[in-house]
Structure 1
Amino acid sequence: MRMTKCSILAATITSLAAGVAHADVTLSILIDTNPETIASFDVVSKAYTEKHPDVSFDVEQRAGGSEGDNIIKTRLATGEMADIFQYNGGSLFQALKPQETLADLSDLPSQAGILDSFKKVVTSPDGHVRGTPFGPAMGGGIFYNRKIYAELGLTPPKTWAEFMANNEKIKAAGKVAVAQTYGTTWTSQLFVLADYYNVQAEVPNFAADYTANKLKYANTPAATRGFEHLEEVAKAGLLNPDFGAATFDDGMRMVATGEAAHYPNLTFGIGNVQQNFPDNLKDLGFFAQPGTDAAKNGLTVWMPSALYVSAKSEHVEEAKKFLDWIGTKEACDLMAKAVSSGPYLVKGCELPKDIPPVVADMLPYFETEGRAAPALEFLSPVKGPALEQITVEVGTGIRSAKDAAALYDQDVEKQAKQLGLPNW
């Protein structure tokens, strides 16, 4: 995907500085193409420019998935990174060699109001915080269409067996049970990654033992199960006919409008529906990916993305001032009004009361002790770069779940060795 200037956003921001002959500082910004990201940055950049007319923003967008990962790593390595960029925390953050490539944000006053659970996933090996939260926390699970569920008398499942039983009823009614969108390859990973709550429920020490190379996906039945779910859904004939070419946008459209009953994804997809199909937002529901035990039903959680300052920026101090403000309750409240798809990790920052039903579906997992757990990538620095290609192969019938788990174990070994982790 070609990176394009977000000209509309840049023009909007520039217009706010009317009357200023020349801004003292223009901060270059690199963000992804997610509508929630764009909406959030739009609102905070406008507010900041109103407060600081001498600061303007030059915004650029990048692709997601492995293509986006490569863009970030390449631009950091070549010294061509924007002053500020948005990216993941956890294992993907650790792969950036953050103590060398990112500015230290530990001394920003706003850090005192950011939850420790977030700071842990943007702290470099030298103990310094390098990122500021940007956007809401997300759940990984399964969107469903409320109208289809009501029409067929279905209830959200709490076990995988119940989920597959619902799928068979939906298929029998002549409807697409599960949307898959391998044209956007990163979406193929959800049945594996969103199953981590269920993995740790069965194997509480999995993250630590996996990081220490004591356990692997292929030799841990609870971990292999996510690959098996992907294979099972494909073999059951539940998918949309164009699953190989369909994109993330297609998947959110299908589940929101009733073209499909289910779509496994991250809850940031709510923003896609808010923007593109607002009249269907009330028809969108969400539940955590079910496991084997209804009594242990819970949600795998993704931390918000972060904003980082490139260590090679020519405007490090001005960029840090902006990120310090982003970490405040004031800025967080603005983002929460613009994007209300999940909880924010700044103290005192709350969602508006008129949240859509799909968000209300998700919040009890966060609010009930023991019903949410971070995704593996926030508990372990080990994540192989080829997972999305491997899961596409399973989802299209090219590779078995068993072979995929073993291949992924080989993939993560390369990453672990690059990070210099012991026992690898």
Structure 2
Amino acid sequence: MIRSRTTALATLAVAALALTACSAGSLGSSDSGGGGDAVTLNFLVDNGEQTVKTAEQLGKDFTAKNPGITVKVETRPAGSEGDNIVKTRLSTGDMTDVFMYNSGSLFQAIAPQKNLVPMGDQPWGAGLDDNFKSTVTAGGQIYGAPYGGFMGGAILYNKPVYARLGLQVPKTWAEFMANNAKIKAAGIAPVIQTYGETWTSQLFVLGDFHNVAAAEPDFADKYTKNQAKYGTSPAARKGFEHLQQVHDLGYENKDFASAKLPDGLKLLAQGKGAHYPILSAVVSDLAATYPNSTKDVGLFAIPGDDAAKNGLTVWAPAGVYIPTSTTGAKLDAAKKFLGFIASKEGCDSQAKAGAVTGPFAVKDCKLPADVPQVVQDMQPYIDKDGSSSLALEFLSPVKGPSLEQITVEVGSGIRKAAAGASLYDEDVKKQALQLGLAGW
């Protein structure tokens, strides 16, 4: 798996407590809070630099529109320590008035129907992207507003290399491999791999899930029930087979075993490597280190077998939630705050806070004109029905901690694809048993 969202973004250097007493009172009916007493909302987010900057900008812009409501940002650690804090504070009724946390399977793990206030009666729910909406829904009720944008598991590519060699963006794996052959013949590394940071080795597997879901629409459900496996599903196994094929044909950069993310971005930006299977969020690192490359590096979805079903695997944004411990005037104010976050004004506020690294999960929101080409290339996949699918981790709680080691072995020629897929099935079994899932 690609770690938890907060940990992954901290690794990429992009984008991861005590309560202060606040005045209570009732809000008026106007946007400004009317004639009621002033209300302060405590907003808990992870302590990633960009996360905090975004939260503070949202609070500032929301208060400008609602002068009777102040948003105070509090922070927690990222990763497992932060997860434990969130779960403890929810269980003890000591959570802040609103808080940011993961969507998907980790959202389900905090017992939303017990611990969170449903937002199904709020009109902004209809304006959410369907992929995101499904990741913050439990028992048929929506619980969260989107924080940040989508992240794609895709292939970043050097556009000048493509133009020079007369290549077209591939929609099938066969087309992709044909491009790789021409790129290698031109003396350029076709596929950049950076196994010196093992998490980066997983994208040919995890980013391929749109293709798995297209071939086997019920795979996620069966996988959770131990009725489908990577080792026995032809569609799921292909991610491992692609890793092996790229290595066997010598399409990797020579230093793939030791190279790290900054090395991979350098090869890509300088056109010494043509393709980099990676999370789209690294575009923030790319922009910071090689600002002139943001127009030269594009994105396309990891190709499958059927061009008609070509599409992008996406990681949904985190959500902002209201705990059931928030009541009265604070609850009214918190609902307004989530409505603001899930609006065009909220998207604009988040864009002001820093580089936009993925399309927004609010249908009315448009990307700023100056976003990197990688982000622009993601938007059509989000806009077109059926052209994007959630990563498996948003659809199933079954994950294995050793995938990144296994994909390094397969991508390095140490282990064959079939063996790697079967080994990962054993890896996930341990966690499924720990979770007490039925069928395991």
Give the alignment's TM-score, normalised by structure 2: 0.76
| Superposition deviation, residue 263 in structure 1 | 0.8
Counterpart amino acid of residue 363 in structure 1: Q
| Superposition deviation, residue 265 in structure 1 | 1.7
Moved more, 245-254 or 226-235: 245-254
| Superposition deviation, residue 190 in structure 1 | 0.8
SS across alignment from 2:156: strand
Any idea what the Cα deviations from partners look like across 1:300-333, whole Å, max 9, x if unmatched?
232222235677899x857776445322331123
State the partner residue of 1:47.
61
Whole-angstrom distance in 2 between the partners of 1:216 and 1:379: 15
State the partner residue of 1:349.
365
Q: 1:76 to 1:241 in 2, by over 3 A?
A: farther
Whole-angstrom distance in 2 between the partners of 1:193 and 1:258: 25
Structure 2: stretches of 5+ with no match in the other structure = 1-6, 11-38
Structure 1: stretches of 5+ with no match in the other structure = 5-22, 63-67
Give the alignment's TM-score, normalised by structure 1: 0.78
1:291 equivalenced with 2:307 (yes/no)? no
Contact 1:133 1:305 in 2 (8 A): yes
SS across alignment from 1:268: helix
Match of 1:119 among 126, 130, 133: 133
| Superposition deviation, residue 186 in structure 1 | 2.6
| Superposition deviation, residue 174 in structure 1 | 2.6
Whole-angstrom distance in 2 between the partners of 1:407 and 1:82: 40
Counterpart amino acid of residue 160 in structure 2: K
Whole-angstrom distance in 1 between the partners of 2:397 and 2:191: 31
Any idea what the Cα deviations from partners look like across 1:250-270, whole Å, max 9, x if unmatched?
433432332321111222233
State the partner residue of 1:90.
104
Whole-angstrom distance in 1 between the partners of 2:292 and 2:374: 13
SS across alignment from 2:274: strand
Contact 1:138 1:302 in 2 (8 A): yes
Question: Which protein shows a greater Rg?
Answer: 2
Mapping for residues 326-341 of structure 1, pairs under 5 Å:
326-336=341-351, 338-341=354-357
Match of 2:393 among 377, 384, 391: 377
Give the percent of matched residue pairs that are identical in Structure 1 and Structure 2: 48
Q: 1:368 to 1:325 in 2, by over 3 A?
A: closer
State the partner residue of 1:75.
85
Whole-angstrom distance in 2 between the partners of 1:262 and 1:405: 24
| Superposition deviation, residue 142 in structure 1 | 0.3
Aligned residues: 395
Whole-angstrom distance in 1 between the partners of 2:252 and 2:433: 37
1:229 equivalenced with 2:224 (yes/no)? no
Whole-angstrom distance in 1 between the partners of 2:305 and 2:366: 33
SS across alignment from 1:136: coil
Whole-angstrom distance in 1 between the partners of 2:325 and 2:47: 18
Whole-angstrom distance in 2 between the partners of 1:251 and 1:41: 31
Match of 2:156 among 128, 133, 143: 143
| Superposition deviation, residue 410 in structure 1 | 2.1
Q: 1:32 to 1:189 in 2, by over 3 A?
A: farther
| Superposition deviation, residue 206 in structure 1 | 1.9
Q: 1:82 to 1:239 in 2, by over 3 A?
A: farther
Any idea what the Cα deviations from partners look like across 1:216-271, whole Å, max 9, x if unmatched?
11111111010111122233333334434444344334323323211112222333
The root-mean-square deviation of aligned C-alpha atoms, in Å, is: 3.6
| Superposition deviation, residue 108 in structure 1 | 7.7
1:196 equivalenced with 2:209 (yes/no)? yes
| Superposition deviation, residue 299 in structure 1 | 2.0
Q: 1:310 to 1:385 in 2, by over 3 A?
A: farther
